[in-house]
């Protein structure tokens, strides 16, 4: 498929530049750890639950270890050394004792002690990884038995009541109405919590907290609905914010199928420290790779702040960077739900042709990635009739350019959280377009040298220019200078910086070791 | 003319359209129920033009019909905002032209309140309800101190950042914590800075009574549903004045 006449050498150059821009960030991620990476290690080693104030035991244990010996060599060695010296076999019990001040930590010095602690740590975290492997195999079995959606794109719908017990029937109803993927939006502000809440939750702000128990409850409910419908309904949540490594691990253990997981979203939109984000990102991507989870990146967000025509190339640049980081972390192309969106001002002449050009560019640059196609939000005004028309054109671009995952647009975007009828009308819109024009991509070939081809070439050219500038400037400086979006985010500022530690000699992380083996 | 009626295709026809969902399965009876609702809402005759089952036990309806109500435009009462609602572009332009430097905003959740939902919705680039937060405005320099900030820390930061405005969010209202925290905050600013040098003090949260500003010693209270643009428009209005 080469409908745009892209020059393979130019595409190659764009990828090479993305690799050069991204490599220093990978090096940075490989030489640092964070409190959340270490907590994810403990979660995979079986630490669960929270104290009476709701602070998870993984937080208490990492804080205790860090206070005594720092994070520079990882928590695995001091924790499993302490476990042996105290004659315990349950790390959660150790966490409880540590929280009560009854345990002291030291990094083992003798070779035999180090070897013993490493062995124990590998065994414990290996059990966690085995759960993830089993869950992945289980998904593959279910997909084989029940089947994938009959059509592409997969239809992606959101629920967000704040109460997991309200979310469940809504999600099941949405699946019955045709949704292939259900995303549970998180509570506002969860991304800035430096711990993962525990248990089933019934109170969220404009969304429901991501917790292990909520994951489990929703997955079980959708398994039931999948069997009823004879198609596997996928579940999505968010591995973003300060706890993304832990949430990735929990998602793997509870068989979530897709996770929002962008390399820069937290930095730009949540003012999370860049180094914290890149370290947490790499670990969470590695976990997603192992778990067979499809990631969804967040390029659509750039277009909600910047102009969708002027900033079109920043989407391409971010997709190329996300692809590089994803491949580096072991994700395969089928796991890359690279994001983009239909956000051009509809008043602009030729807006639909521009949208087509941009969407087709993403399709052709990443032929084997599913691509996540996001509906209009910025130019939805409350005029629901016009909104429904806009969503129809959005759906048409999705069908014409072979998008993999289509987030269903709501005509009541920016008006209310979707009503039952809004969702029904939106799905009717999608069905009409896919039914009437789902295979139109077979006939649709833009004229050589015409408007669509030229625009795609122009955007790719601008993307290459920007990548060159980022390579020269370094990515951390580019972020600090406000190259992406309009936010300036220097590497020494932002939330979560105090949870970052540089690796010292002898840093040991049994999970990273296994994931990179 | 101050008396008007809805307009379909003829002056005075009073025609309106309405759509809604009833939690009952679609059948003849459901359609009758929809017409009954429309009649009770004043549509007579009510013409049911569309009915469609949705999921289990719900039906969606579209009804067109005539209402007999008259509207007297002279008797319309609206509560006017006492400052103009500006676009992001206008806000940036006013600051640039009139203040000739960036306007400094410091925000925090004070006391033991760990709910940054409110302050983040107003300040974070992400924003809320499709509106970007104050960080989005080029001419605003925003310092978001996050949660559990002590009053002395807040005063110190406001001083260091030369804050033009201080935004405090309070969600927790147990034992009137939001009121006590706000009073402590305004007292500290009064003590630390002379009247002319004090930043604009703004407090927000879902449970505040917007009329209590004077009593709490703040310049403005924003309640539930406030958007970043309203806050930014207010800042420009209060600190810089009219936009002309």
Nearest in space to A476 (alpha carbons), one of A72, A17, A37, A29: A29
CA A314 to chain B, closest CA, distance in angstroms equals 17
Instruction: Give the model's pLDDT for residue B243.
Output: 52
Using CB atoms and an 8 Å cut-off, which of residues 12-41 of chain B contact chain A?
19-21
Domain ranges of chain B: 3-73, 88-239
User: Could you say which of A177, A270, A425 has the minimum Cβ distance to residue B55?
Assistant: A177
Q: How far apart are CA B198 and CA B217, in angstroms?
A: 12
CA B192 to chain A, closest CA, distance in angstroms equals 28
CATH dotted code for B88-239: 3.40.50.280
Instruction: Give the model's pLDDT for residue A414.
Output: 67
Instruction: Give the model's pLDDT for residue B198.
Output: 93
Peptide bond between residue A477 and the one before it cis (omega within 30 degrees of 0): no
CB-CB neighbors (< 8 A) of A270 in chain B: 124-126
- Bridging pattern class, strands A181-184 and A154-159: parallel
Of the pLDDT bands very low, low, confident and very high (cuts 50, 70, 90), residue B244 is very low
CA A90 to chain B, closest CA, distance in angstroms equals 32
Each residue of B129-166: pLDDT tens digit? 678 899 999 999 999 887 778 899 899 999 999 999 99
Counted across chains A and B, CB pairs separated by less than 8 A come out at: 61
In sequence order, the 6+-apart residues with CB closer than 8 A to the CB of A114 are A77, A108, A506
| C-beta separation of A358 from A459 below 8 A | yes
CB-CB neighbors (< 8 A) of A414 in chain B: 129-130
Q: What is the pLDDT along chain A (517 residues), one digit of tens a residue?
A: 689 999 999 999 999 999 999 999 999 999 999 999 999 999 999 999 999 999 999 999 999 999 999 999 999 999 999 999 999 999 999 999 999 999 999 999 999 999 999 999 999 999 999 999 999 999 999 999 999 999 999 999 998 888 999 999 999 999 999 999 999 999 877 888 999 999 999 988 778 999 999 999 999 999 999 999 999 999 999 999 999 999 999 999 999 999 999 989 899 878 899 999 999 999 999 999 999 999 999 998 878 767 789 889 999 999 999 999 999 999 999 999 999 999 999 999 999 999 999 999 999 999 999 999 999 988 887 889 999 999 999 999 999 999 999 999 999 886 777 888 999 999 999 999 999 999 999 999 999 999 999 999 999 999 999 999 999 999 999 999 877 766 678 899 889 999 999 999 999 999 999 999 9
B130·A271 Cβ contact <8 A: no
User: Could you say which of A205, A413, A485 has the minimum Cβ distance to residue B117?
Assistant: A205
Query: Which range, of A34-38, A265-269, B58-62, B64-68, averages the lowest pLDDT?
Result: A265-269
Given the residues B52, B89, B126, B197, the one annotated as active site = B126
Instruction: Give the model's pLDDT for residue B145.
Output: 85
One-letter-per-residue 3-state SS of A146-197? HCCCCCCCEEEEEECCCCHHHHHHHHHHHHHCCCCEEEECCCCCHHHCCCCC
Domain ranges of chain A: 149-436
The verdict on B211 touching A (C-beta cutoff 8 Å) is no
B144·A271 Cβ contact <8 A: yes
**Measured on CA atoms in the order A175, A287, A277, A362, is the torsion positive or negative?**
negative
Instruction: Give the model's pLDDT for residue B112.
Output: 67
| H/E element, A296 | strand A294-296
Interface test with B, best of A54, A205, A229 (most B CBs within 10 A): A205
One-letter-per-residue 3-state SS of chain B? CCEECCCCCCCCCCEEEEEEEECCCCCHHHHHHHHHHHHHCCEEEEEEEEEEEECCCEEEEEEEEEECCCEEHHHCCCCCCCCCCCCHHHHHHHHHHHHCCCEEEEEEEECCCCCCHHHHHHHCCCCECCECCHHHCCCEEEEECCCCECHHHHHHHHHHCCCCEEEEECCCCHHHHHHHHHHHHHHHHHHHCCHHHCCEEEEECCCCCHHHHHHHCCCEEECCCCCHHHHHHHHHHHHCCCCC
Mean per-residue pLDDT over chain B, rounded: 89
CB-CB neighbors (< 8 A) of B146 in chain A: 192, 495
A270·B144 Cβ contact <8 A: no
Query: pTM above the 0.90 mark?
Result: no
A192·B146 Cβ contact <8 A: yes
User: Could you say which of B55, B120, B130 has the minimum Cβ distance to residue A176?
Assistant: B55
CATH architecture entry for A149-436: Alpha-Beta Barrel (3.20)
In sequence order, the 6+-apart residues with CB closer than 8 A to the CB of A82 are A94, A98, A103, A104, A105, A106
CB-CB neighbors (< 8 A) of A305 in chain B: 125, 132, 136
CB-CB neighbors (< 8 A) of B144 in chain A: 271
In sequence order, the 6+-apart residues with CB closer than 8 A to the CB of A452 are A4, A353, A356, A357, A360, A446
Q: How far apart are CA B66 and CA B69, in angstroms?
A: 9
DSSP for A18-83, written as a single string:
HHHHHHHHHHHHHTEEEHHHHHHHHHHTT---B-TTS-BHHHHHHHHHHHHH-STT-SHHHHHHHH
| C-beta separation of B201 from B154 below 8 A | no
Instruction: Give the model's pLDDT for residue B114.
Output: 63
Q: How far apart are CA A154 and CA A370, in angstroms?
A: 9
User: Could you say which of B54, B135, B144 has the minimum Cβ distance to residue A487?
Assistant: B135
Query: For A272, which DSSP code?
Result: B
Each residue of B86-125: pLDDT tens digit? 999 999 999 999 999 999 999 998 876 667 778 888 988 8
Of the pLDDT bands very low, low, confident and very high (cuts 50, 70, 90), residue B195 is confident
Show the tokens assigned to A433: 């377009």
Nearest in space to B189 (alpha carbons), one of B211, B167, B221: B167
B132·A486 Cβ contact <8 A: no
Q: Is a pLDDT exceeding 80 seen at residue B127? A: no
CB-CB neighbors (< 8 A) of B52 in chain A: 424
| C-beta separation of B114 from B150 below 8 A | no
User: Could you say which of A173, A271, A419 has the minimum Cβ distance to residue B124?
Assistant: A271
Residue A473 CA: distances (Å) to CA of A366, A370, B29 = 26, 31, 70
Nearest in space to B88 (alpha carbons), one of B209, B185, B228: B228
CATH dotted code for B3-73: 3.30.30.60
Minimum CA–CA partner of A424 in chain B: B54
Peptide bond between residue A44 and the one before it cis (omega within 30 degrees of 0): no
CB-CB neighbors (< 8 A) of B130 in chain A: 377-378, 380, 413-414
Instruction: Give the model's pLDDT for residue A198.
Output: 95
């Amino acid at each position: 498929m080469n409908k745009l006449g892209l020059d393979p050498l130019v595409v190659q150059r764009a990828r090479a530049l993305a690799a050069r821009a991204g490599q220093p960030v990978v090096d940075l991620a490989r030489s640092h750890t964070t409190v959340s990476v270490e907590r994810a290690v403990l979660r995979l080693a079986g630490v669960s639950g929270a104290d009476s104030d709701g602070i998870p035991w993984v937080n208490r244990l990492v804080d205790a270890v860090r206070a005594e010996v720092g994070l520079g060599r990882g928590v695995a060695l001091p924790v499993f050394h302490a476990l042996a010296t105290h004659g315990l076999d349950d790390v959660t019990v150790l966490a409880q004792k540590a929280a009560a001040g009854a345990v002291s930590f030291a990094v083992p010095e003798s070779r035999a002690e180090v070897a013993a602690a490493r062995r124990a740590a590998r065994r414990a975290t290996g059990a966690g990884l085995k759960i993830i492997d089993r869950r992945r195999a289980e998904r593959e079995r279910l997909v084989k038995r029940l089947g994938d959606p009959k059509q592409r794109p997969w239809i992606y719908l959101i629920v967000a009541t704040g109460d997991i017990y309200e979310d469940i029937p809504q999600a099941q109803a949405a699946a019955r109405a045709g949704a292939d993927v259900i995303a549970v939006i998180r509570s506002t502000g969860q991304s800035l919590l430096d711990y993962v809440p525990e248990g089933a939750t019934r109170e969220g702000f404009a969304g429901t907290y991501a917790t292990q128990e909520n994951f489990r409850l929703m997955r079980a409910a959708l398994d039931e609905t999948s069997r009823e419908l004879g198609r596997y309904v996928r579940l999505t949540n968010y591995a973003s914010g300060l706890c993304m490594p832990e949430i990735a691990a929990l998602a793997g253990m509870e068989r979530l199928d897709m996770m929002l997981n962008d390399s820069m979203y937290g930095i730009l939109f949540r003012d999370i420290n860049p180094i914290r984000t890149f370290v947490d990102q790499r670990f969470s991507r590695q976990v997603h790779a192992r778990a067979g989870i499809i990631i969804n990146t967040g390029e659509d967000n750039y277009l909600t702040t910047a102009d969708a025509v002027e900033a079109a190339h920043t989407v391409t640049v971010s997709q190329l960077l996300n692809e590089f980081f994803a491949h580096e972390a072991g994700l395969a192309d089928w796991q890359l739900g690279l994001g983009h969106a239909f956000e051009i001002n509809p008043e602009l002449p030729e807006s639909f042709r521009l949208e087509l050009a941009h969407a087709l560019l993403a399709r052709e640059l990443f032929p084997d990635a599913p691509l996540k196609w996001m509906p209009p939000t910025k130019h939805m005004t409350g005029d629901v009739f016009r909104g429904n028309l806009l969503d129809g054109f959005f759906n048409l671009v999705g069908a014409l350019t072979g998008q993999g995952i289509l987030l269903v647009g709501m005509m009541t975007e920016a008006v209310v959280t979707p009503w039952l009828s809004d969702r029904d009308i939106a799905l009717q819109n999608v069905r009409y377009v896919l039914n009437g024009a789902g295979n139109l991509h077979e006939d649709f070939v833009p004229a050589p040298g015409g408007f669509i081809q030229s625009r795609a070439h122009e955007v790719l050219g601008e993307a290459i220019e920007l990548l060159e500038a980022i390579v020269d400037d370094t990515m951390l400086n580019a972020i600090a200078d406000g190259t992406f979006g309009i936010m300036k985010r220097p590497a020494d500022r932002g939330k979560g910086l105090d949870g970052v530690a540089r690796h010292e000699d002898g840093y040991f992380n049994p999970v990273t070791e296994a994931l990179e083996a | 003319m101050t008396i008007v009626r809805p307009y379909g295709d003829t002056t005075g026809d009073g025609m309106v359209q309405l759509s809604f969902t009833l939690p009952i399965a679609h059948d003849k009876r459901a359609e009758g129920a929809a017409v009954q609702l429309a009649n009770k809402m004043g549509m007579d005759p009510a013409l049911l033009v569309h009915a469609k089952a949705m999921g289990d036990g719900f039906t969606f309806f579209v009804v067109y019909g005539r209402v007999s109500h008259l509207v007297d435009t002279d008797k319309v009462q609206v509560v006017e905002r006492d400052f103009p609602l500006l676009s992001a572009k206008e806000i940036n332009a006013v600051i640039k032209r009139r203040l000739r430097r960036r306007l400094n905003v410091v925000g925090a959740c004070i006391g033991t309140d760990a709910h940054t939902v409110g302050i983040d919705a107003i300040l974070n680039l992400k924003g809320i309800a499709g509106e970007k937060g104050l960080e989005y405005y080029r001419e605003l320099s925003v310092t978001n101190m996050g949660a559990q900030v002590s009053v002395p820390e807040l005063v110190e930061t406001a001083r260091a950042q030369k804050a033009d405005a201080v935004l405090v969010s309070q969600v927790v209202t147990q034992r009137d914590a939001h009121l006590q925290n706000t009073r402590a905050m305004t007292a500290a600013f009064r003590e630390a800075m002379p009247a002319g040098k004090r930043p604009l003090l703004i407090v927000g949260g879902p449970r505040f009574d917007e009329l209590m500003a004077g009593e709490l010693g703040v310049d403005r209270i924003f309640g539930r549903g406030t958007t970043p643009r309203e806050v930014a428009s207010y800042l420009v209005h209060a600190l810089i004045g009219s936009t002309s």
